[in-house]
Amino acid sequence: MITLDPRQESGRPLYWQIYAQIRRDITSGALPAREKLPSKRGLAASLGVSVTTVDAAYAQLACEGFIESQPKRGFYVCALGALKARPPKVEKVQAAAVSAPPLQVDFSAWAVDPLAFPYNTWRKLLKNAFNEYDDQLLHRTPPQGDPALRSAISEYLYKARGVHCTKDQVVIGAGTNHLLLVLGFILGNSFSVALENPVYSQAYQIFSRMGHPVLPVDIDAAGIQVDPLQNREHTAVYVTPSHQFPLGISMPISRRIQLLHWAESGQARYIIEDDYDSEFRYTTRPLPSLQSIDSRDRVIYLGTFTKSIAPSLRISFLVLPPNLLDRYQEAYGMFGSPVSRLEQRVLYAFLEEGYFERHVNKMRVVYRNKRSFLEKSLRVAFGDRLVIQGENAGHHLLVAPHNGMDEPMLCAAAKNQGVGVYPISPYFIGKMPPCYQGNVLLGYGGLSEEQIQQGVDLLQKAWDTRG
């Protein structure tokens, strides 16, 4: 017996409500296989609807295979096997008493200044791209990316970072993680990957899940230690020499040369240079990239526009050594670029017409002032009861309050005051050494000076244990 009030769901057509109810009854077992359904006239009369409405519902059920029409006998439920009905949707209710207060200030290391993005310029270049390239934007983009953008990137890298490459060595990708997947694939599982420890956690996850043997290598004051690598062949070493994440160390030239000598002295050794945050140094000029002093084609250069322009612009790039280009073409030559050609054309114009260089120069001043303001505010609030660590670069710094709190306590106390600060322990492969306990990460790129001051004032309350 089918009983329902089809007018309860007034936002749906009547036939659909009847169809949905009968379907639910069939999938739940309330209407078993080979059960005869009421005639169309009989069901229409009992529900107070037209025969046409019931006919439409039965037709949809028959089309989907839930019921079948038997000549001169009527409609019967089909045998569906072990089909289970979807459980009813249950709204999650979070108890207000245990919910943390919303963040008033978020010291995220991944944010950029939202007010400094060149909206008008980007809008103009977007319009120009439509006007100039028209139907070209609808065509398949070559696997390595738009040739004009690759050429502009190679020219910029030579001027800004001393990178020696042609556009044929540049590969455009949809973010750093995508390109790490590409690298893992073209290197092959015979390659092990050595990672600085602590490390950008997604790099560790990607290489380990792809089946590469992963070797964590501890960091000292100069960056990744080279001695543990000496006897390893068929190895790629992933490093962030410009501004190590999360510790903020910059690799000096002596360690860079030592690492290059290791790569050159063995078989099938490569360095993956993630030039993270290289655009933003505030007191000194950046050291040359590893790729710029590599004479044996052992450095794979990785860069991104995420920090320099915006996180939502998922455009990153690789510079592959010539001896890896054939492997790339063999693996990916049949595919198109995963990045929108429209975005690539806009970014090309942004680089080619000088907007990018001016934007980076402007943002270098903006972020330097924010960092200086944050350091000053922390010193005023905490004095010598807090240590600030990390190079004068990038979008974040480390702080260690001398108040007896460990990392989880520092993060929890800050959150209770409505402030987001972040642990560094998730970036260690294995257990975090005791010397790093009591350190937390503060980003400042997305905050105004007023927000920074508010956050520091709240942290002073959160971390004051003097009673």
Rounded to the nearest 5 percent, the helix, strand and coil shares of the chain are 40, 15, 40
Average pLDDT over residues 231-244: 90
Average pLDDT over residues 133-160: 88
Do 114 and 338 contact (CB within 8 A), yes or no? Answer: no
- Residue 121, pLDDT > 70, answer yes
Q: Are residues 318 and 391 in the same domain?
A: no
Higher-confidence residue of 383 and 86: namely 383
Q: Are residues 204 and 219 in the same domain?
A: yes
Distance CA 10, CA 17 (A): 9
DSSP letter (8 states) at residue 197: E
Distance CA 288, CA 295 (A): 14
In DSSP notation, 194-234 reads: EEEES--HHHHHHHHHTT--EEEEEEETTEE-SGGGTT--S
Q: CATH code at 73?
A: 1.10.10.10
> According to the per-residue pLDDT averaged within each range, which of 128-132, 158-162, 452-456 is highest?
452-456
H/E stretch holding 455: helix 449-463
Distance CA 109, CA 156 (A): 26
Q: Are residues 216 and 301 in the same domain?
A: yes
Average pLDDT over residues 90-113: 71
Asked if residue 6 is part of any domain, the answer here is no
Comparing CA positions, the residue from 191, 218, 216, 221 lying closest to residue 203 is 216
Which of 325, 357, 389 is at the close of a domain? 357
Q: Which residues contact 467 (CB under 8 A, 6 or more apart)?
A: none
Given pLDDT bands bounded at 50, 70 and 90, which one contains residue 82? low
Given pLDDT bands bounded at 50, 70 and 90, which one contains residue 93? very low
> Minimum mean pLDDT among 69-78, 126-135, 417-426: which range?
126-135
- Buried-state track 142-151, b at ≥16 Cβ within 10 A, e below 16: ebbbbebbbb
Q: Are residues 172 and 261 in the same domain?
A: yes
Burial of 174 (0-12, 13-18, 19+ CB in 10 A): middle
Q: Which domain holds residue 53?
A: 14-77
- Residue 83, pLDDT > 70, answer no
Comparing CA positions, the residue from 453, 417, 457, 424 lying closest to residue 439 is 424
Do 367 and 444 contact (CB within 8 A), yes or no? Answer: yes
Q: Are residues 413 and 314 in the same domain?
A: no
Query: Residue 317: its pLDDT value, please?
Result: 97
Asked if residue 98 is part of any domain, the answer here is no
Query: Residue 87: its pLDDT value, please?
Result: 58
Given pLDDT bands bounded at 50, 70 and 90, which one contains residue 139? confident
Average pLDDT over residues 100-117: 88
Helix (H, G, I), strand (E, B) or coil at 156: helix
Mean pLDDT of the chain: 89
Average pLDDT over residues 451-460: 97
Query: Residue 89: its pLDDT value, please?
Result: 56
Do 202 and 177 contact (CB within 8 A), yes or no? Answer: yes
Helix (H, G, I), strand (E, B) or coil at 301: strand
Q: Are residues 311 and 434 in the same domain?
A: no
Q: CATH code at 209?
A: 3.40.640.10
Average pLDDT over residues 116-120: 93
Query: Residue 467: its pLDDT value, please?
Result: 53
Given pLDDT bands bounded at 50, 70 and 90, which one contains residue 96? very low
In DSSP notation, 267-300 reads: SSEEEEEE-TTTT-BSSSPPPPPTGGG-SSS-EE
Q: Are residues 269 and 285 in the same domain?
A: yes
Q: Are residues 128 and 25 in the same domain?
A: no
CB count in 10 Å sphere of residue 442: 26
CB count in 10 Å sphere of residue 169: 23
- Residue 311, pLDDT > 70, answer yes
Residues counted in the chain: 467
- Residue 224, pLDDT > 70, answer yes
Query: Residue 15: its pLDDT value, please?
Result: 86
Q: Which residues contact 82 (CB under 8 A, 6 or more apart)?
A: none
Distance CA 283, CA 80 (A): 71
pLDDT in tens, 252-286: 999 999 999 999 998 899 999 999 878 888 777 77
- In single-letter form, the type of residue at position 140 comes to R
Structure tokens at 459: 């942290």
Q: Are residues 365 and 452 in the same domain?
A: yes
Asked if residue 314 is part of any domain, the answer here is yes
Query: Residue 8: its pLDDT value, please?
Result: 55
Do 80 and 26 contact (CB within 8 A), yes or no? Answer: yes
For residue 212, CA distances in Å to 184, 216, 250, 318 come to: 8, 12, 27, 20
Distance CA 402, CA 388 (A): 11
Total number of domains in the chain: 3
Do 331 and 320 contact (CB within 8 A), yes or no? Answer: no
DSSP letter (8 states) at residue 410: H
Distance CA 208, CA 206 (A): 6
% of the chain with per-residue pLDDT over 70:
92
Query: Residue 335: its pLDDT value, please?
Result: 87
pLDDT in tens, 352-407: 999 999 999 999 999 999 999 999 999 999 999 999 988 777 889 999 999 989 99
Structure tokens at 13: 């057509």
> Minimum mean pLDDT among 1-15, 66-80, 206-220, 314-328: which range?
1-15
Q: Are residues 365 and 353 in the same domain?
A: no
Query: Residue 228: its pLDDT value, please?
Result: 93
Distance CA 259, CA 460 (A): 42
Given pLDDT bands bounded at 50, 70 and 90, which one contains residue 97? very low
Query: Residue 10: its pLDDT value, please?
Result: 56
Q: Are residues 370 and 339 in the same domain?
A: no
Q: Are residues 408 and 342 in the same domain?
A: no
